[in-house]
Amino acid sequence: MPQARTVAVLVGSLRKDSVNRKTAEALAALTPDLKFNFVEIGDLPFFDQDLESDPPAQWVRLRQEIAAADAVLFVTPEYNRGLPAVLKNAIDVASRPYGQSKWNSKPGAVISVTAGSQGAMLANHQLRSSLVFLNVPTLQQPEAYISGALSLFDDKGGLIKDSTTEFLRAYGQAFSAHIERHLAEAPSAKA
């Protein structure tokens, strides 16, 4: 049996009771053929090129975790019609030094989650714009804009809405197939 592909998961909400994190955990539980590694991004110093001569340990750790993964998953809320700063900072840190981006050719996926009604669509698309530049072949369909997220989980964090469970199961299958397709076409993507 082949070893499970590893997915670095970056969650753009740092809140302890984050519905974004709960959504990512639900996806992981519903996609057993992938190994999901949650990457800490809340401790990263802001990107500053002056620090590259002696990069902070958190930058080094992030870059190593992204480099070691077969694929990446971004799960993001939307703050003020845009991407959370902590997630954008992680993207910038792992894209440097110039010419050594850890994102290059990693198959990826984006899920946006909100308690509101718009599915955090603007943050989702803002993130996708950066991923195009970073050469992250991103799952196009199905798109994942999850609204009304506060009603999707019980008080223990378990997913309770059947339609969301089925959607995330199908999304996980599509993401897994996307990873396999891309890695078959570009076997050196993990290098």
Average pLDDT, the chain: 92
Least confident of 20-29, 50-59, 108-117: 108-117
Domain boundaries of the chain, sorted by first residue = 5-185
pLDDT confidence of residue 180 = 95
- pLDDT-derived band of residue 173, with 50, 70 and 90 as boundaries? very high
pLDDT in tens, 149-167: 888 889 888 888 899 999 9
Nearest alpha carbon to residue 153 among 2, 24, 15, 4: 24
What sections of the chain are H helices per DSSP?
A: 19-30, 57-68, 85-94, 121-133, 162-185
Question: What average pLDDT does this structure show over 110-137?
Answer: 88
Write out pLDDT tens, residues 97-107.
Answer: 999 999 999 99
Q: Higher pLDDT residue, 78 or 2?
A: 78
Say yes or no to pLDDT of 179 above 80. yes
d(CA 172, CA 175): 5
The CATH architecture annotation of domain 5-185 reads 3-Layer(aba) Sandwich (3.40)
Position 190 confidence tier, pLDDT thresholds 50, 70, 90: very low
Identify any residues that bridge with 10 across adjacent strands, giving them in sequence order.
74
> What is the per-residue pLDDT for 189?
45
Q: Is there a contact between 38 and 51 (Cβ–Cβ < 8 Å)?
A: no
Rounding to the nearest 10 degrees, give the CA dihedral for residues 179, 184, 187, 191.
0
Give the pTM.
Answer: 0.93
Give residue 148's pLDDT band: very low, low, confident or very high (50, 70, 90): confident
